[in-house]
Amino acid sequence: MGVHADDGVRVEGGVHARSARTRADDGAAAPEASATLARPVAGDRRGESRRAIDRRRAAEDALLDALLLPRDAQGDTVGSEGQTLLMNGLRRLSRQDGVAAAVAWSEVPDQEPRVLGALPGSAAHRIRPTRALYEALAGLERVQRLNEGDLGPELNALGVRGVAAAAPVAGLGATPAAVLLVFSARPTRGLRPRTIAVLGEVAADLSKSLSTTLAVDRLVRLDGAVRRLDRLSALGGVVSEIVHEIRNPLVSVKTFLQLLPDRLDDPDFHGEFREIVTEEVRRLERLLDDLLAHARPKVRPRSGDEGARVVDTIGTTLQLIRYRCRERGIELSTELRDGLPAVAVGEDALRQLLLNLLLNATEATSEGGSIRLRADWSEDAINHVVIEVADDGPGIAPDAAAHVFEPFWTSRENGVGGLGLAICKRIVDEAGGRITVGPDAKSGGACFRVDLPITR
């Protein structure tokens, strides 16, 4: 049976068929035949152009992923939702006349391809997917019968082993997200044209749905990467404070070690030495624990976790910001309600939220000013805790308050905004809370207010 190519020329065994009139009068029809045969060449050029565009876009995507995504990212691999979509497509194929089995393969980065679905299930073991076979199938541009002419050693081998036709399922880049293989119940007769058409329809439908699923997965990974970059940026903003906080206990330990040779016979000195050195080492351990907790992402508490303890998390975050306040002559005061319960957000996410708000306050407050941090039960929402960060800065104009949570927005002249407040809002929104900014009643500066629900 012939298969109609996209340009309308019938293809049989890889050779373009000629009309009866052309056979009867080669001389008279020569120009027309030449024009007919030239059309696939133009189509091939258009296909090459499309492939070049796909390769460029794939390279751009890979560059963005390399810059933004964590090094352990899995790439655009088909997940459980995509696997369900593929199985639905295989069910439709398996119901077609003359189909013995339908199988879906997908690529896994740095590994051999894998079988994502098969109907019947035993068909998953008929042919083991290899990288060479997958690359040959991925090179197809459309549905291809595997019993037509010389298609190359890999595709010919699949045809010999019972695969009657195959089709790529396009993904986000130049490489297909998956490939479909259809085994014929009548190997000597092949598949009917209607079955080939259905295979093309299934591949096209899956391409649309899988591309959407993969795009959503990529956005989720990029969102996590942006948050990771923001955490690193926040830590970079307090790097001098971190170095200072580490140096202080080391200086104390070094001083006592220098005095030790001259005070070996002084028992009082030994006792004081042990007490102070032990406390300074504990200080170092606490600081490192705080840094590690901030660097490891866990936005929401896992199922069964208690969530973040507000007062405890505030205490560990203040360890990272106190020196900056002392260095700039800013007074940092807290008003914390005892016995506040855990809130429905991960501890590291709450720490990131607090650190961003406090860093923002230190930028706005001049020497001699103050920053006030308050945590209490919310008066506006039942079963919510309120956290307020107020500063003595110039405040935020009412028309600017609506924009402060937008990415890269800034009110500073010739300044470059960041993502800190935008990510604060995202953390609060995902927890089911609310974040607002307004004038501080005491100083007229800015006051950021965060309402978070408690854990149930």
Considering the domain 238-296, what is its CATH architecture? Orthogonal Bundle (1.10)
Q: Which residues of 82-119 are buried (b: 16+ CB within 10 A; e: fewer)?
A: bbebbeebbebbbebebbbbbbbbbbbeeeebebbbbb
Q: pLDDT averaged over the chain? A: 75
**Cα–chain-centroid distance for residue 124?**
30
Mean pLDDT of 304-318: 82
Domain locations in the chain as residue ranges:
3-68, 80-218, 238-296, 301-453
Closest CA to 370 of 328, 337, 319, 410: 328
Mean pLDDT of 26-49: 44
In tens, the pLDDT along 266-294 reads: 887 777 777 777 777 776 776 666 565 55
Is residue 317 very low, low, confident or very high in pLDDT (cuts 50, 70, 90)? confident
Q: Who wins on pLDDT, 29 or 157?
A: 157
Share of the chain above pLDDT 90, in %: 24
Considering the domain 301-453, what is its CATH architecture? 2-Layer Sandwich (3.30)
Element (H, E) at 340: none
Q: Which residue stretches of 260-380 are H helix? A: 267-295, 310-327, 347-364
The pLDDT, as a whole number, for residue 277 is 76
Is the pLDDT at 232 greater than 70? The verdict is: no
Is the pLDDT at 430 greater than 50? The verdict is: yes
Tokens, residue 149: 């002419």
Spatial contact of 137 and 155, defined as CB atoms under 8 Å apart: yes
d(CA 375, CA 370) in angstroms, rounded, equals: 17
Share of the chain above pLDDT 70, in %: 68
d(CA 359, CA 365) in angstroms, rounded, equals: 10
In tens, the pLDDT along 128-184 reads: 999 899 989 988 988 999 887 788 899 988 988 889 999 999 887 778 889 999 999
Spatial contact of 256 and 276, defined as CB atoms under 8 Å apart: yes
Element (H, E) at 49: helix 26-68
Is residue 230 very low, low, confident or very high in pLDDT (cuts 50, 70, 90)? low
The pLDDT, as a whole number, for residue 399 is 79
d(CA 375, CA 397) in angstroms, rounded, equals: 25
The pLDDT, as a whole number, for residue 65 is 52
Is residue 333 very low, low, confident or very high in pLDDT (cuts 50, 70, 90)? very high
The alpha carbon dihedral of 293, 294, 296, 299 has a sign of positive
Mean pLDDT of 84-99: 90
From residue 306, how far is each of 29, 318, 424 by CA, in Å?
Answer: 82, 22, 21
Is the pLDDT at 435 greater than 80? The verdict is: yes
Element (H, E) at 377: strand 370-377
The pLDDT, as a whole number, for residue 305 is 55
d(CA 208, CA 323) in angstroms, rounded, equals: 54
In tens, the pLDDT along 370-415 reads: 999 999 999 888 899 999 999 998 888 887 887 888 766 766 655 5
Name which of 236-250, 345-359, 373-387 the model is least confident about.
236-250
Tokens, residue 413: 């002249």
Tokens, residue 425: 């809002």
Spatial contact of 374 and 334, defined as CB atoms under 8 Å apart: yes
Q: Who wins on pLDDT, 427 or 28?
A: 427
What is 391-446 written as a DSSP string? ESS----HHHHTTTTSTT---STT----SHHHHHHHHHHHTT-EEEEEE-TTTSSE
Closest CA to 102 of 5, 169, 17, 151: 169
**Cα–chain-centroid distance for residue 149?**
43
Q: Who wins on pLDDT, 39 or 454?
A: 454
Mean pLDDT of 119-126: 89
Spatial contact of 366 and 325, defined as CB atoms under 8 Å apart: no
Mean pLDDT of 114-141: 90
Closest CA to 200 of 171, 176, 180, 185: 180
CATH 2.40.110.10 fits 80-218, yes or no: no
Tokens, residue 160: 């010999």
The pLDDT, as a whole number, for residue 105 is 92
In tens, the pLDDT along 443-456 reads: 889 999 999 999 87
Give the 3-state secondary structure percentages of the chain, helix then strand then coil, rounded to 5: 50, 15, 30
Q: Dmax over Cα atoms in the chain, in whole Å?
A: 119
The pLDDT, as a whole number, for residue 248 is 59
The pLDDT, as a whole number, for residue 239 is 57
The pLDDT, as a whole number, for residue 223 is 67
The pLDDT, as a whole number, for residue 26 is 39
d(CA 345, CA 449) in angstroms, rounded, equals: 16
Give me the count of residues in the chain. Answer: 456
The pLDDT, as a whole number, for residue 347 is 83
Edge-to-edge strand ranges of the sheet holding 3-4:
3-4, 10-12, 15-16
Is the pLDDT at 297 greater than 50? The verdict is: no
Question: Quick check: helix, strand or coil at residue 163?
Answer: strand
Q: How does DSSP classify residue 387?
A: E
Is residue 231 very low, low, confident or very high in pLDDT (cuts 50, 70, 90)? low
Is residue 352 very low, low, confident or very high in pLDDT (cuts 50, 70, 90)? confident
Is the pLDDT at 335 greater than 80? The verdict is: yes
d(CA 361, CA 250) in angstroms, rounded, equals: 30
Name the range with the highest mean pLDDT among 65-69, 207-211, 275-279, 431-435. Answer: 431-435
Q: CB burial class (10 A; 0-12, 13-18, 19+) of residue 6?
A: exposed
The pLDDT, as a whole number, for residue 19 is 37
CB atoms within 10 A of CB 19: 12
